[in-house]
Structure 1
Amino acid sequence: MVAHVRGRLTTDPLNFEDIIADIRKGEIKIPKFQRPFVWKEDQAIKLVDSIARGYPVGSVLLWRTADKLNSERELGTFQLPQTDEMTPTKYVLDGQQRITVVYSAFGAAPTDPGFKPVYDLRNEAFHVGTDALQVHHFPLRYVYRTTDLLNFRTALQTLDDREVLQERLDALIGAITGYRIPVVELRDLTVEEVCPIFERINSSGTRLSTFDLIAAATWSKTFDLAAHAEGIASELAPKGFDGISNETILKCISVVLIESVKKEDVLRIRELGEQRISDATNRTKEALRKAIDLLQKEFSIQAMSFLPYEAHMICLTKVFGEVKSLDAAQLKRLRQWFWLTSFSEHFRGASEAFVTSSSREAVKWIVKGEGECARFGSAPTAANLIDTKFHFRAAVVKAYVIALAKAKPRNITNGATVDLVECLSSYNAKQFHHIFPQAWLKRENKKNIDSLANICMLAAAENLAVSDTPATEYIPRAISEHGVDVDDVFSANLMPSTTELDYSAVDYETFLKKRAEKIATHIGKLCEG
């Protein structure tokens, strides 16, 4: 059913004096889930200039509710006053950057820190204030301060061009005090009703997580979900697994506690009691440790950026939340599940409901051996591999990189073992090499230049040394230098042996076909566990 908010939504334009007054009373607050103030001075100056010119500067969206969210952020550099539990609060859902600039420019005390714009009445231009202001420099923080404004006007009278400057000052103050900014206020909506609105307004630009909103909404004096997540992240940091987000940890807590990552279910966490939540948090911490250990040892994954899907971490956490360790048969089924879901893009575009059901399916298959692994997908064919481009953000490409790592690759050029910890900790394009160099292929007008079947792991220094040298030149040279080790080096890179291909004369299309077959065989074995 579609929930309508008509009747609980007001759209009144307000002047800055009213907004500033509400901020000073503590009625307008910045919820903790909002990103910090990030605007640069030039952005703030442009906003003030637009106001002075009467240009539209967008609207502000507030959520008026009696429910108290988690501790609010400061407004820029300004401390927000505390309010009692009974006073309704207007939380800023959209427009935080603008409202912070407005308060700092027109509402803060002259001695307060922060953005202090002044208007040069002679040059008719705004700039950031300094301690050495001249008489014709008007601090905008005087606009709503009667005494300061009168004193400034008096000082202007000492100047020869006072009449022109007074006229410009009057026009500026009139523009600011007469400006009315559209304020949309959502009144007494539940968190469930606010969540989709919050998602819509933050669908572009810097994405704000709805889970951050939920963490704030589930907060109480005895429970802070976000704090639990941050604690887990800090404890996991020494394990060297980089990039696991607060949002992912929150989902892992949720799947262990209530077997769901759906927003409407997570919102009910606060009803479960502090002891149950605390126990689940501890179980999640241990489950995440074991999941990370497995990802590092079994798949050489050192960072979230190399994990094909966030859902893999959520499902693995659910598995280790159910069992302390896996026997040989369970570990084999886990491998099957991981490789099949990765290469079949099982979780592509997965909804929260799908991830929730998938976590249960993972437990059934991995832990209990129920069902068939074929439901998780199938291994790619050689043709699939040839047609797939190396684009690192794609889940199937990450799976391919991890599959390469399972072959324990060695540099094609010098035979040295590739440092997998370095390669799978942070993505660096120089650690992945076009076996037939990209520049050469472009000159030859070849197709499938970025095919997975043309990509191997190679240390950055060796990659640089190869540069755009044709494969038919640098590979035969490497073959000669490897001597009796050559087939071992090529096998570690899932490349056809020197008895299968003549690398001094092989054409690109034949190479792709033969190597794709080797890779497909290797991946097929991985998918069998």
Structure 2
Amino acid sequence: MSANVGTRLSTATPYIKDLNVQIRKGEMKIPQFQRPFVWGDDQAIALLDSVANNYPLGSLLLWRTSDKLATERNIGEFVLPQTDDMSPTDYVLDGQQRLTVLYSAVGADPDAPGFSASYDLEKERFTSTRSAVVGLHMFPMRWLYQTTKLLNFRTALQTHPNAAKLQERFDGLVEVFTGYQIPVVTLKDLTVEEVCPIFERINSSGTALSIFDLMVAATWSKRFDLNETVEEIAEALKPKNYGEISGTRVLKCLAAVRSDSTSRERILALRQLREKPADMDGLVEKTKRAILRAVDQLITDFKLYSMDFLPYEAHLIILTYIYANNPTLNAGQLRRVRQWFWRTSFSERYRGAPDDFVTRDLAAIQRFVLEGDVPAEAYGAVPDTATLKGMIFRKNNSRSRAFSLALAKQNPRNLTNGNSIDTAIALSIYNKKQFHHIFPEAFLRKTKPEVERNYVLNFCMLAASENNLISDADPQVYLPQVISDLGTDAAPVFKSNLMPKPQDFDYSTASLESFIDARVGIVQAAIESLCTGLH
């Protein structure tokens, strides 16, 4: 944290009652980017138990600002009062679940909805009032700050057979709750730009918070809701069965189209359009059309039916940028898009690439696509033999995804029966059962447990039902049987899977090593062909 930010940070230890008063007055609010209240009764009771035992609950983090953020969500089930636009508001960045429990349990009106609890003075434990246990020994925690109800309860407790002991416990309970203080860190009058890096590092709830979550609130107005924009784009993609597009990717696409950049600063600058709804609407519509054109090409040219198989998000962002500026491309330009896509995927150009690298590529790739100003080789080479042989198949690896797409481009057929594989289904969502270890994993685990089983070159596509049939079969047995069953179809079926043709390779004596040696040249040639951009 910079020294400048540090001077606008304050710490305090208010009592629970003081925090509840702030909430009741509407001075403390839950911003829209926070997830809903999700704690169950057991978690809430455990929190109350921690207070009763004087255990620390951890600090709360608030952001005090006069900027009004979207706060459509209240505290749990409680509707909070409206405040004027001039009054500063404390937005809860971290601690929503704890605050909600404390307000609901001891700050809300006795008859209000939401979680409420009683303390069993006999058993010395909290229970949810949903359990409907009543009696002289059960103290409703919402009476804690209701002076009359609290005194009446204590008076009635005198009629209990064990009154002295229970009154002692009751006084101790009231003392610890009314005297309990919670550390609060308040960030005062920081801009969104200053709060963002702090906000993104908050992870105490186990849920990573992103720049998108913050921008939902920072750009919100009665005319514009970023969440609705993302939903609108997702809805437009539904007919293509393309799956969901993340909010952060949409933000980067919006920033790229508006500012030729995907940097944090340019994303945060989208806030400026909050007061220009017509400009924001125009940007959203332009970006949405460009995303749809980009997706159309990803499906048509690359068999990319789901974001699960997108090698890098930079591919979508750059394609969106190109189509936002150039709604149509000619045959030569489309060929260069294909060259760029395959070469950058297999060369891992965008692996770990920072935003400024992608930003520089926006204009550079556009020039290449439109004019062919540099050789295609500038964007990556075909992997050499050693690299291909060493590649491991992993879901989140760009080369594995690119290899899956390269297989789909061959219009593969099931090894077992020669039927065409529906690549739209196989690549609609990552499903390991749609990919087959040619030398089965279970077989290798039994016979050669020390051997790497997940080489990319040990995979092909296979319908899940057929995959299950092969199971842990010996490849020296099942592959010759498959060849026999396919008859004259064997050669084209194996070719469609980028596997050596039966007449060129003896599968009855093959080892995993000899198979990979025989297959690597075939796969390399297929990748070289794709990198020409002609297919």
TM-score range, shorter chain: over 0.9
Higher deviation after alignment, 301-310 or 217-226? 217-226
Secondary structure at the aligned position of 2:507 is classed as coil
- Say whether residues 1:513 and 2:517 are aligned partners: yes
- The C-alpha deviation readout for 1:407-451, integer Å capped at 9, x for no partner, is 111111111111211111111111111100112212232523110
- 2:58 paired residue number: 58
Whole-Å separation in 1 of the counterparts to 2:20 and 2:350:
47
Give, in angstroms, the shift of residue 10 of structure 1: 0.8
Give, in angstroms, the shift of residue 492 of structure 1: 0.7
- 2:314 paired residue number: 311
Structure 1 residues 247 and 192: alpha-carbon distance in aligned structure 2, compared to 1, 3 A threshold: same
Give, in angstroms, the shift of residue 203 of structure 1: 8.7
Which runs of 5 or more residues in structure 1 are unaligned? none
Which of 473, 477, 480 is 2:477 aligned to?
473
Amino acid at match of 1:469: A
Structure 1 residues 323 and 203: alpha-carbon distance in aligned structure 2, compared to 1, 3 A threshold: farther
Amino acid at match of 2:263: K
Whole-Å separation in 1 of the counterparts to 2:34 and 2:312:
25
- The C-alpha deviation readout for 1:65-95, integer Å capped at 9, x for no partner, is 0111123422222222211001100111111
- Say whether residues 1:186 and 2:190 are aligned partners: no
- The C-alpha deviation readout for 1:138-173, integer Å capped at 9, x for no partner, is 222221122222232233233211221111111112
Whole-Å separation in 2 of the counterparts to 1:171 and 1:496:
80
- Say whether residues 1:237 and 2:241 are aligned partners: no
- The C-alpha deviation readout for 1:6-36, integer Å capped at 9, x for no partner, is 2211111111001000001111111111122
Matches within 5 A, 1:391-410: 391-410=394-413
Structure 1 residues 316 and 422: alpha-carbon distance in aligned structure 2, compared to 1, 3 A threshold: same
- 1:438 paired residue number: 441
Whole-Å separation in 1 of the counterparts to 2:183 and 2:464:
54
Give, in angstroms, the shift of residue 260 of structure 1: 1.8
- The C-alpha deviation readout for 1:125-150, integer Å capped at 9, x for no partner, is 22211263312222222211222222
Whole-Å separation in 2 of the counterparts to 1:311 and 1:256:
13
Whole-Å separation in 2 of the counterparts to 1:379 and 1:42:
56
- 1:462 paired residue number: 466
- The C-alpha deviation readout for 1:225-283, integer Å capped at 9, x for no partner, is 44333322223323321021122122212211222221212232343533332222111
Q: TM-score, normalised by structure 2?
A: 0.95
Whole-Å separation in 1 of the counterparts to 2:211 and 2:175:
40
Higher deviation after alignment, 180-189 or 444-453? 444-453
Aligned partners of 1:226 and 1:250 also within 8 Å: no
Give, in angstroms, the shift of residue 41 of structure 1: 2.3
Structure 1 residues 227 and 3: alpha-carbon distance in aligned structure 2, compared to 1, 3 A threshold: farther
Amino acid at match of 2:200: E
Aligned partners of 1:496 and 1:515 also within 8 Å: yes
- 1:108 paired residue number: 108
Amino acid at match of 1:60: L
Amino acid at match of 1:30: I
Whole-Å separation in 2 of the counterparts to 1:344 and 1:79:
54
- The C-alpha deviation readout for 1:451-510, integer Å capped at 9, x for no partner, is 000011111111111010111111111100100010110001100011221111112211
- 2:13 paired residue number: 13
Secondary structure at the aligned position of 2:109 is classed as coil
- 1:504 paired residue number: 508
Whole-Å separation in 2 of the counterparts to 1:204 and 1:92:
13
Aligned partners of 2:251 and 2:267 also within 8 Å: no
Matches within 5 A, 1:40-59: 40-59=40-59
Amino acid at match of 1:187: K
Secondary structure at the aligned position of 1:70 is classed as coil
Whole-Å separation in 2 of the counterparts to 1:80 and 1:259:
41
Matches within 5 A, 1:326-475: 326-445=329-448, 446-475=450-479
Aligned partners of 1:61 and 1:93 also within 8 Å: yes
Q: TM-score, normalised by structure 1?
A: 0.96
Which runs of 5 or more residues in structure 2 are unaligned? none
Structure 1 residues 2 and 354: alpha-carbon distance in aligned structure 2, compared to 1, 3 A threshold: farther
- 2:145 paired residue number: 144
Amino acid at match of 2:117: P
Give, in angstroms, the shift of residue 63 of structure 1: 0.5
- Say whether residues 1:296 and 2:302 are aligned partners: no
- 1:82 paired residue number: 82
